[in-house]
Chain A
Amino acid sequence: MPEPMGFFTDTTVCIGCKACEVACKSWNQLPARGGGTAELSGQSYDNTLRLSGNTWRHVKFVEQFDKPYEGRWLMLSDVCKHCVQAGCLEVCPTGAIIRTEFDTVVIQSDVCNGCRSCIGACPFGVIDINEVSGTAQKCTLCYDRMSVGLEPACSKACPTDSIQFGPIEELRKRAAGRVEQLKAAGESRARLYGADPNGPLGGLNAFFLLTDEPEVYGLPAEPELPSRNLASSAALSAAGAAVVGAVGLVTLRHNRMRDVAEAERSDPNSEQKP
């Protein structure tokens, strides 16, 4: 049995070159955008803007320029987190989403029927519909490459090793060491996001080193499974159904009682029962 594999993305060394995006599209034969036409966002140097059914890697540009001549860039190469407890896998009604032998999460495109449950269930907004296939799609962590012992295309292409691929346990040790190194160098805000197996979603198999709050990078602080609401929501609905049933019965019983009373008034000797 292969050990769990994943990505450690060190955002401090990302230069925003988007080589990972291009490598991902190239290997997975994904179109650029909108039928192959690239568009400018008009609000950022980042023109990809989001992960989608066509874009399984996206280098986010956090452009913090509040004052002239002051500011900073933060870059984060975003991707499916391959959650240990995956919301998408949990809600998929066709069984299209599976966990592989590498502990990664993959959508089988020949099974998915495009119901889009998984899109709303993902706490990171990773999944979307691929307009060509009509099915939900996202990063497979290059399952086809991993199956033959190759490294995923994005990490292979990364020129600064911001995206590192390997066994999760090894990556966690490497990431902890890097955080210590950064803190020693004065970057006190350095932290890991998703590396803790006891943290949210049982840990993420694609985790990140950040130097600010997760929200700054467009990441949720405490991602949760969609099923957290299942019991309470279903119980309230069942209670509501019981109340509606009771109101219906009382209304009809009132109706019948009045019929009986009227019948008795018109014929006092009758033995009609309700």
Chain B
Amino acid sequence: MPDTFFTEPPHWRWLIALYFFIGGIAGGCFFLAALLQLFGRPGDRAIVRIGYYVAMIGVAISGILLIVDLGRPDRFWHMMIQNKTGRPMFKYWAPMSVGVWGLLIFGVATFLATLGALYEDGKVPWRLASAFMRGPWSIVIDVIGGLGGFFLAGYTGVLLSVTNRPVWADSSWLGVLYLLSAASCAAAVLILVARRRRLSDGTSVRELERFDKYILALELIVLIVFVISLGSAGRAFLNAWGAVLVLVVLGGILAPMLIGFGRVAHFRGRPLTAGTAAALVLLGGFMLRITTIFPSEQVRVVGTRVTRP
């Protein structure tokens, strides 16, 4: 039995799974919005603004989830400032410490970009905010926010790997898996919003769909590598969670990929659209977090015996 099975679970459950999912979408949406802002066409601007808005909402919810999940929420600031000395608290070798600062920097970039988007939408009157959407400042914000988005999408998996828990610490592929999943989920959110609100002439949405199906293909490959890399720790999936993981692969990755590549167009006589594929991607992305967090959470030592779900 791997040594990781002799440890205790940290009780990271629904709130943390939700944070990993929403934080990933926030990071991915900002990255895609920044990419469209820097390299896209004028017709993409509506989607760019939606990307910033989703990122802002996501990062705000992420912060709340993280604070509420603490045993002592009133001490959340201890992660940024040493409460006994007043000095900054930062450990570059501790993923959670780096993550807190990364979330903060990403949050500031997202806030500024959102202000710019709100000005462009005519929702705020401050001319100063226009600098955050056009010109050199907007480029700086996009680069910092885009990198921060990538970081937020991927560090959560690294955080799990830098433990001693079964599944999480038995592979180094969780970070890249979460990053790819976050990118595909973010594209799915933008596709759904853009289609529902008819924000684009269709070209940008088609490009997002193209982006999504290639990322899904990569995600599938990395997921297979991840499961193989678990070795004997893969026994944590020899239960109902294994079946859920198979469903994630079939419904959350393969099905939307086949719809995207035009291999499957109908299900029981009903047409399958890009919207259906995007919804499946989101469901699969959330379930991927659940199926990688909970099987590990349920392994614990009772007496001298290791119990599994």
A interface residues with partner B (beta carbon < 8 Å): 41, 43-44, 46, 49-51, 60-62, 87, 90-96, 110-117, 119-129, 133-136, 215-224, 226-227, 229-230, 232-234, 236-241, 243-245, 247-249, 251-256, 259
Inter-subunit contact A91/B7 (CB<8 Å)? no
Whole-angstrom distance between the Cβ of A96 and the nearest chain B Cβ: 7
A-B contact pairs, 23 of them (CB 8 A): A50-B301, A90-B93, A92-B91, A111-B75, A113-B72, A113-B78, A113-B79, A115-B96, A116-B10, A117-B94, A121-B163, A123-B7, A215-B1, A218-B303, A221-B3, A232-B172, A236-B173, A237-B154, A237-B179, A240-B154, A240-B180, A244-B179, A259-B41
CA distance A127 to B7 in the complex (A): 9
Q: Does B215 contact A (CB under 8 A)?
A: yes
Residues of B within 8 A of A119 (CB): 8-11
Inter-subunit contact A129/B71 (CB<8 Å)? yes
CA distance A240 to B70 in the complex (A): 30
B interface residues with partner A (beta carbon < 8 Å): 1, 3-4, 6-12, 31-32, 35-36, 39-41, 70-73, 75-76, 78-79, 82-84, 89, 91, 93-97, 100, 150, 153-155, 157-158, 161-165, 168-169, 172-176, 179-180, 183, 203-204, 207, 210-211, 214-215, 218, 222, 300-306
Q: A94-B89, A121-B163, A226-B169 are in contact. Are A113 and B70 (CB under 8 A)?
A: yes
Inter-subunit contact B71/A237 (CB<8 Å)? no
Whole-angstrom distance between the Cβ of B156 and the nearest chain A Cβ: 10
Inter-subunit contact B41/A227 (CB<8 Å)? no
Q: A115-B70, A220-B6, A222-B3 are in contact. Are A43 and B161 (CB under 8 A)?
A: no
Whole-angstrom distance between the Cβ of A69 and the nearest chain B Cβ: 22
Q: A121-B163, A233-B158 are in contact. Are A256 and B70 (CB under 8 A)?
A: no
Inter-subunit contact B97/A93 (CB<8 Å)? yes
Whole-angstrom distance between the Cβ of A250 and the nearest chain B Cβ: 9
Inter-subunit contact A251/B164 (CB<8 Å)? no
Whole-angstrom distance between the Cβ of A34 and the nearest chain B Cβ: 15
Inter-subunit contact B157/A237 (CB<8 Å)? yes
Residue of A at shortest CB range from B305? A218
Instruction: Please report the number of residue pairs spanning A and B whose Cβ atoms sit closer than 8 angstroms.
Output: 235
Inter-subunit contact A93/B207 (CB<8 Å)? no
9 other A-B residue contacts (CB within 8 Å) besides A61-B303, A218-B306, A233-B158: A93-B94, A111-B84, A119-B9, A120-B163, A129-B11, A134-B70, A219-B6, A244-B183, A255-B40
Residues of B within 8 A of A50 (CB): 8, 300-303
CA distance A8 to B139 in the complex (A): 60
Inter-subunit contact B174/A244 (CB<8 Å)? no
Residue of A at shortest CB range from B147? A241
Whole-angstrom distance between the Cβ of B120 and the nearest chain A Cβ: 20
Inter-subunit contact B6/A123 (CB<8 Å)? yes
Interface hub of A96, A125, A135 (most chain B Cβ within 10 A): A125
Inter-subunit contact B94/A92 (CB<8 Å)? yes
Inter-subunit contact B180/A95 (CB<8 Å)? no
Inter-subunit contact B158/A41 (CB<8 Å)? no
Please pick, from B8, B41, B161, the residue contacting A256 in the complex, using a CB distance under 8 A.
B41
Inter-subunit contact B154/A251 (CB<8 Å)? no
Q: A61-B303, A233-B157 are in contact. Are A93 and B164 (CB under 8 A)?
A: no
CA distance A112 to B97 in the complex (A): 13
